[in-house]
Structure formats: C-alpha cells, structure tokens
Amino acid sequence: MSDSEGKILKIYDKSKPEDEDFHDLNYPVYWAWALVAVLVGLVFWLCIALVNAENQRYALITNQCADPVFKGAIDQPCLRTVHSREHWWEHLWYGVTHVKPEAPEKRRR
C-alpha cells in the first residue's frame, strides 16, 4: 500500500458512522410508541365502559328491565344482558355528545 493510498483510507475512515451510539438513540422512540400503545388501550377500554354504562342507563330510562314480580324494582340479570339500542355505536355517540346530564322535568302539582 502506497503512502497516497494510506492517506485516502485515513480520510474515508473518519467518514464512517460510529455504530456504537446507534442503539442509544432508539430508546426514546420505543418509550414513545409504548406510551401511544398504552393510551390507545386506555381509550379503547374507556369506550367499552361508556357503551356499557349508557346501555344500562338507557334501559333504566325506557323501563326495559322492570321486575315483573315486584313493581318498581329492577331485574338485575336483565340489566346485565339488555340491548337497549340497536347498535353499540349509538350508545358511544350519545355518551360522547351528551356530556352534561339532562335537566329534570318540572312536575306539575
């Protein structure tokens, strides 16, 4: 190897990236994607809880789970299995769009 070849190799040797530091740069990206995955899972879980709560609330309002034996009581097994609207997304849409409770109607005496 001649002296000029050695100088050229020395110049190109400095332009190579250092491989040792690459793995350190990826840890924040992994943490960010893990956080995104956890937050998506939390939103999914909260949507399921909202759909179930709105399903039971609407069944109670429309009196779909009245106990046939005891008047004024609620049939608990019916409340767990009732489908008060046709689709689950109707419960989700109502629950998301109606944040404040509705004002009770004034009773006439």
**Domain spans of the chain?**
62-97
Q: In this predicted structure, what is the pLDDT of residue 4?
A: 83
Other C-beta atoms closer than 10 Å to the C-beta of 107 total 5
- Measured distance CA(62)–CA(16) in Å, rounded: 72
Q: In this predicted structure, what is the pLDDT of residue 1?
A: 67
Q: Mapping DSSP to helix (H, G, I), strand (E, B) and coil, where does residue 18 land?
A: coil
- Measured distance CA(99)–CA(54) in Å, rounded: 12
Q: In this predicted structure, what is the pLDDT of residue 59?
A: 94
Residue 62 to residues 75, 77, 84, 94: CA-CA distances in angstroms? 14, 16, 8, 15
Say if pTM beats, i.e. exceeds, 0.85: no
DSSP assignment letter at 70: S
Q: In this predicted structure, what is the pLDDT of residue 60?
A: 92
Tens digit of pLDDT at every position of the chain (109 positions):
678 887 887 777 767 666 666 655 566 788 899 999 999 999 999 999 999 999 999 999 999 999 888 888 999 999 999 999 999 999 999 999 988 877 777 655 4
Q: In this predicted structure, what is the pLDDT of residue 25?
A: 58
